[in-house]
Structure 1
């Protein structure tokens, strides 16, 4: 393995592992922008997808090839608002570091500049930036690094200074963000970014470099001691929109100016439909995220831009998974070519993958929908024979997990299956309930 990419791979892997270990705690303190208890999960899955892309490269891959693979993988796999922002942050940081000779060779000023560019990219990704969040930590880390460069600190001191400033900003998120202050926690997304910076410092300067420095409690009681239980205000779960819509589109042109203009246009269009808008661009792709009460319109915005991987779910579904209110540990995935069905299918508890052109469905997109639905098992209902074929192929693959593809050929079958699944009672085998509904559903066909 080239020395130039060894440290980079180590950092990316350790960053994902740090979030994996803290996943449940990050989920527990997630109260902004909505208390859907999934920030840790979203961050981990985003980073995991980036690292999976890197793992497919040969050991001889160059620093630039690793950067490109991780950035593209993380963007395609980005989950939720936090995942989209962090994928853009890391892509911008890595791109600048690569231009500066690689992580191993980057000078102090290059590290500081990369942190600044990453912070700027994170801000650009958000439709309505809010203080006391991941953006505040990104900006503070950049400022801390720049101050260290100004006094001619070496590279290790620069990244440590960035971590110290990031930790200070993380503690302040509890005071700056009303939702975090009310819950007595720091911002979950901000905490996730601090973990990435801490792993960067340990990768570059050694595992003990942060020992002796002040850490930050994530859960804060009035006594200043850590607490375990964090109140989640479920009554506000749909304050900015009851549905989450995510999609990936090709960048319209190669020029950076055209891409930025397109990002602004899409951001404005989604902001008119809801909030928690995040739009990022990297390696020829644009990833969009929004919480909205008009999911059909958000889907249409994606289709108008030749979107793929259009995922629709309800914010409430995250709460159901968190409370283990998923029938026999099994989730539902609905594949449909009808945008208008996205909302009702999501309301019934399915992860909905809208596929305008079934011939273009990629296995990666279907696998993502399956992982979104449940880690334990999934039943897939598909709206036409082509989509059913894709579901059947995935279900038959070794290592796919407990995936059942219902034998469906029509959108009516999807509606019947998901509706039956929504009505299933605890203890009933979800796959059997949904299969029986499909078998009882008769579809009228017109004569030739």
Structure 2
């Protein structure tokens, strides 16, 4: 007996689809040649649907604890959201969009109070419209749609379903048959598939997904999330014969981008529109899905850091995953040394100091913070298996994280030491011990940086409000740990006040880093001041050469 299209059917669909993809995962992986022959389409689809199934179960559990039953909108919405946040790879991202497209229709036809309105004939019509919307939405999400892929298969499924006059189960079965027929034709539509003698891997997964939906609605299996149906793998007639293709990595298109970048993004529609344009210029296989402030971004690029930075500019990216395609794009540099340090510094003097200590320095140009690509290049130039990365600026934390993530995909173990100022970097570099274990060294350097309070002297460019009051253009600002604490008119006097405030909490060592425009006598006067006012405190002076601040101060 057919089942209605309701929350229970969605739950059953998830369970059956997960079983089907679990059985077919390896076969789908084996025929994965487009867009990159990385042999993971089946796995990505399975993991994406696994996330969707967990979300549906959570929705049922939440309603059970409240003594209610979920409606169709709750279940299909949870399925789509779970797929969105757990989408893996190009195929998983498109699957998430397919489910979101269905949700746009089905959620509008079902209540959230446990009463489903999409039943009977209305259920069948709702499913027809949902499949049409799902197919159309995939074309909207993909920057450059290609025929002979899962997009074509989804469209054929929707068209076949539209011509079916039966109930929802019959509509789902028609969609499944339409997808199977379209899948057979994909090798003739996409050259790379024809050369490999295989069908589209993503389309193969969609056939399994639609077959599970038809089973869930037909009543051939019990409508529970863990029901077991008769083993029905994708038939050879559907085009999933892998005999003609035993090495997916030999059939892909050469010379493609080196990295796959995926992240979730909290951003507005307007920001995402700009992001699409920027990412489209960076690489290919761009798919951006989602809405209502939450998006899933997928792109293949050579500069993974730039793709992440684009997300940072658009909103808040998280769950960032960067995968290096073996044999594609760039090849990584050989790792020679055991461990190295890469430090971002604001001046040539500090760069010389770091280089003298054995580190690789990235010098910041005034007003031009380094991009993650520059940091990745510096990590490569360090020629080390392990790297300690010192950003030395709170504004570079995302850039450093993106660079570290990309370097890790190239086989380099990277720890980002959370240094917020150059003087913290100096302190961290001073305790660096390559002979220690990686984790012990990272902890020691982080501890040394954290134990160093930092300050800088700067000149106000305009009148503005600060935590220390109103400053005027030309005033000397003393910033302690990033906040304005002192406003003065004389550089030396203001520096003395800052030192006194910092040392009032204790300290054993003062580090002074002189900027390019610092007065010649500044260091001598400050050293004398510390010696006279703060006994047993040592002072060390470096010529930093930075143009951004006449003086940097560190207190350990």
TM-score, normalised relative to structure 1? 0.68
- 1:309 and 1:357 map into 2 onto residues whose CA distance is 20
The answer as to whether partners of 1:317 and 1:349 remain within 8 angstroms in 2 is: no
The answer as to whether partners of 2:100 and 2:290 remain within 8 angstroms in 1 is: no
The answer as to whether partners of 2:259 and 2:323 remain within 8 angstroms in 1 is: yes
Quote the offset at 1:278 in angstroms. Answer: 0.4
Partner SS, residue 316 of structure 1: coil
- 1:165 and 1:349 map into 2 onto residues whose CA distance is 51
Is it true that 1:92 corresponds to 2:101 in the alignment?
Answer: yes
The answer as to whether partners of 1:219 and 1:228 remain within 8 angstroms in 2 is: no
- 1:78 and 1:100 map into 2 onto residues whose CA distance is 26
- 1:411 and 1:202 map into 2 onto residues whose CA distance is 62
Give per-residue Cα distances to partners, 1:179-221, cap 9 Å, x unaligned.
111111111001111111110000001338999x97634444x
**Count of equivalent residues:** 361
Partner SS, residue 51 of structure 1: helix
The answer as to whether partners of 1:72 and 1:283 remain within 8 angstroms in 2 is: no
Q: Decide whether aligned partners of structure 1 residues 3 and 174 sit closer, same or farther in structure 2, where only a CA change above 3 A counts.
A: closer
TM-score, normalised relative to structure 2? 0.56
Structure number with the higher strand fraction is 2
Give per-residue Cα distances to partners, 1:234-267, cap 9 Å, x unaligned.
5856633101111221231xxxxxx3x5544322
Identify the residue that residue 53 of structure 1 maps to in structure 2. Answer: 55
Identify the residue that residue 239 of structure 1 maps to in structure 2. Answer: 255
Partner SS, residue 107 of structure 1: helix
Quote the offset at 1:293 in angstroms. Answer: 1.1
Give per-residue Cα distances to partners, 1:382-428, cap 9 Å, x unaligned.
42469xxxxxxxxxxxxxxxxxxxxxx989999x89xxxxxxxxxxx
Structure number with the higher helix fraction is 1
Identify the residue that residue 303 of structure 1 maps to in structure 2. Answer: 312
Counterpart of 2:172 (choices 118, 140, 159) is 159
CA RMSD between the two structures: 4.5
Identify the residue that residue 15 of structure 2 maps to in structure 1. Answer: 13
Is it true that 1:22 corresponds to 2:28 in the alignment?
Answer: no
The answer as to whether partners of 1:88 and 1:282 remain within 8 angstroms in 2 is: no
Unpaired segments ≥5 residues, structure 1: 221-225, 253-258, 319-336, 362-368, 374-378, 387-408, 418-431
Q: Decide whether aligned partners of structure 1 residues 312 and 207 sit closer, same or farther in structure 2, where only a CA change above 3 A counts.
A: same
Identify the residue that residue 366 of structure 2 maps to in structure 1. Answer: none
Partner SS, residue 56 of structure 1: helix
Counterpart of 1:117 (choices 108, 133, 142) is 133
Q: Decide whether aligned partners of structure 1 residues 304 and 411 sit closer, same or farther in structure 2, where only a CA change above 3 A counts.
A: farther
Higher CA-based Rg: 2
- 1:287 and 1:116 map into 2 onto residues whose CA distance is 22
Counterpart of 2:416 (choices 383, 397, 415) is 383
Identify the residue that residue 287 of structure 2 maps to in structure 1. Answer: 278
| Equivalent residues in 2 for 1:10-409, closer than 5 Å | 10-57=12-59, 58=61, 60=64, 61-63=69-71, 64-101=73-110, 102=116, 105=119, 106-148=122-164, 152-207=165-220, 216-220=237-241, 227=243, 229-234=245-250, 239-252=255-268, 259=269, 262-306=271-315, 307-316=317-326, 339-340=372-373, 341=375, 382-384=415-417
The answer as to whether partners of 1:28 and 1:37 remain within 8 angstroms in 2 is: yes
Quote the offset at 1:70 in angstroms. Answer: 2.3
Partner SS, residue 163 of structure 2: helix
- 1:145 and 1:80 map into 2 onto residues whose CA distance is 28
- 1:187 and 1:132 map into 2 onto residues whose CA distance is 7
Unpaired segments ≥5 residues, structure 2: 111-115, 222-228, 329-369, 399-404, 420-426, 453-510, 512-553
Q: Decide whether aligned partners of structure 1 residues 442 and 67 sit closer, same or farther in structure 2, where only a CA change above 3 A counts.
A: closer
- 1:21 and 1:349 map into 2 onto residues whose CA distance is 38
Quote the offset at 1:443 in angstroms. Answer: 11
Q: Decide whether aligned partners of structure 1 residues 20 and 437 sit closer, same or farther in structure 2, where only a CA change above 3 A counts.
A: farther
Quote the offset at 1:308 in angstroms. Answer: 2.0
Partner SS, residue 216 of structure 1: helix
The answer as to whether partners of 1:75 and 1:282 remain within 8 angstroms in 2 is: no
